[in-house]
Amino acid sequence: MAAASSSDSDACGAESNEANSKWLDAHYDPMANIHTFSACLALADLHGDGEYKLVVGDLGPGGQQPRLKVLKGPLVMTESPLPALPAAAATFLMEQHEPRTPALALASGPCVYVYKNLRPYFKFSLPQLPPNPLEQDLWNQAKEDRIDPLTLKEMLESIRETAEEPLSIQSLRFLQLELSEMEAFVNQHKSNSIKRQKNLADEDAVSCLVLGTENKELLVLDPEAFTILAKMSLPSVPVFLEVSGQFDVEFRLAAACRNGNIYILRRDSKHPKYCIELSAQPVGLIRVHKVLVVGSTQDSLHGFTHKGKKLWTVQMPAAILTMNLLEQHSRGLQAVMAGLANGEVRIYRDKALLNVIHTPDAVTSLCFGRYGREDNTLIMTTRGGGLIIKILKRTAVFVEGGSEVGPPPAQAMKLNVPRKTRLYVDQTLREREAGTAMHRAFQTDLYLLRLRAARAYLQALESSLSPLSTTAREPLKLHAVVQGLGPTFKLTLHLQNTSTTRPVLGLLVCFLYNEALYSLPRAFFKVPLLVPGLNYPLETFVESLSNKGISDIIKVLVLREGQSAPLLSAHVNMPGSEGLAAA
């Protein structure tokens, strides 16, 4: 594959420095006339010669017929028409004997066309479904010329809006026509019996072909006999599929549907086992290791486990047009590629941005893999029909966080949560079974605790055991400080009048203590006038009489002359006498 000329490189636009250091511009053709999306691109060694080709299911825009194109390098090698629009393309192995040449499966309309060596090999048609009786009656009337094409169109549109079953392909094509083309279409098809077949939405392949149908079903086909091995039902029509595992052992199917949900099915399950509800419609579904990465119409990527637990969310700067997987086998790297409407292709591993590629036009399809004889080739098609081919340098290394400022890597590290023990599981089961009784017992204990706290607080107020006075006449505040090692301690009482305007006079201080342990020079004295706002330190000395290091509580009472009940009190926890203990 030759390198592009300087004119091709200029047309690709200016890329970032990091993109230039990782990718080689191999080819750019803005007039390649390739219109497709990622599901219709496939890379495979179709002839077993080691030369990988690109298979494209071209949509054929502008009234052109859809075509199957096979590219070798930058050139179209073969081209063949398709009867209907392609839905998906996949390569798979049909036989185990050598040479193991992969076959090509192309979903188009209600059929799957299988090619071997680029020659038609088998056509699998989905089972027919009974048509809508009202639709059948309308075409019968058109056959007998009892209704005109305009009336037929109005009636078919009414059926499409109200009926649960979708219309046939013939009716859907008729509704897309202009008024001048309707009469010729009716004359051409009015004698045909209408058929409603399951139309493919998407497919993927891992040994077996997996088909998603318009009839809200998933079909697993045998790769040799092309018989239906398994059939599963979905609540909505699937649009994106991801398959992993082995059919005979264990496998998982993840289907993103038109109702905005992702359903996960496992082996031997006819219905979904898990459901992931999205807040917007999905635009892509990629499996990276054990994480399902979903792109939504809210311009964001989401990571989910196979059980539906959301792991992370990354906001995009523009709308997501297409997604695909980037897998570099030599370095064991798997990442998600997202083509955006602003002309960027962003590569993420989990929520870490690895690389940004700038393109001259918005990319509508992506494919990464071996192309020609290059292992790591990125193929992109643009909205205008252009073809871009880039080759990843062999020395390129993707570094997380090198292209975007975000949270530190430590934030994404998982905590080493210990395993659940048997005791924890048993306790959890007991809490589930006796949850109501446990809650009632907890509420009872809580009410008793509040009641006891309120009674203790009331008792403290009534007996003036609080260091704060609650009376409006003597608003006082008291706290005590003990200093010294012993046997003699200095006890300082800080008494403060918290009133703003009124002084306090006629107060007494009394000490209550064990006379066998302590001795005070003054156990009772008067307090001077207390000016509002000032802190008055009242000092006295306490001598410890015990030679065994025993300590006790000294109660400090503040009284008013002529009253037996104290205004406030404080309990001073005296320390042990270290002087006596040392002696």
CA distance 176 to 440: 66
pLDDT for residue 128: 66
Structure tokens at 382: 């643009």
* Residues in the chain where the model's pLDDT stays below 70: 1-21, 62-63, 95-99, 127-131, 160-170, 172, 186, 188-207, 224-225, 247-249, 400-410, 460-473, 579-583
pLDDT for residue 446: 94
pLDDT for residue 97: 63
Nearest to 390 by CA among 352, 357, 355: 357
Structure tokens at 126: 């989905």
**What residue has token string 């608003």?**
475
Please answer whether residues 86 and 106 qualify as being in contact, where contact means their C-beta atoms are separated by less than 8 angstroms: yes
Report which residue type is found at 77.
M
Please give the helix or strand (H or E) that residue 491 lies within, else none: strand 488-497
Please give the helix or strand (H or E) that residue 451 lies within, else none: helix 435-462
Structure tokens at 190: 């009015």
pLDDT for residue 235: 84
**What residue has token string 């311009």?**
299
pLDDT for residue 448: 94
**CA distances (Å), 395 to each of 42, 385, 391, 534, 583, in order?**
26, 31, 12, 78, 80
CA distance 430 to 369: 54
Adjacency order of strands within the sheet including 250-257: 238-246, 250-257, 261-266, 274-277
What sign results for the dihedral spanned by CA atoms 278, 279, 280, 286? Answer: negative
DSSP string for 516-533: TTEE-S-SEEEE--B-BT
Nearest to 171 by CA among 470, 161, 180, 89: 161
Q: Point out which residues pair with 328 in neighbouring strands.
A: 333
pLDDT for residue 129: 63
**What letter does residue 234 receive in the DSSP assignment?**
-
CA distance 86 to 90: 12
Adjacency order of strands within the sheet including 568-573: 524-527, 507-512, 553-560, 568-573
Structure tokens at 378: 């990125």
Q: How many residues does the chain have?
A: 583
**What residue has token string 């149908």?**
213
CA distance 178 to 68: 27
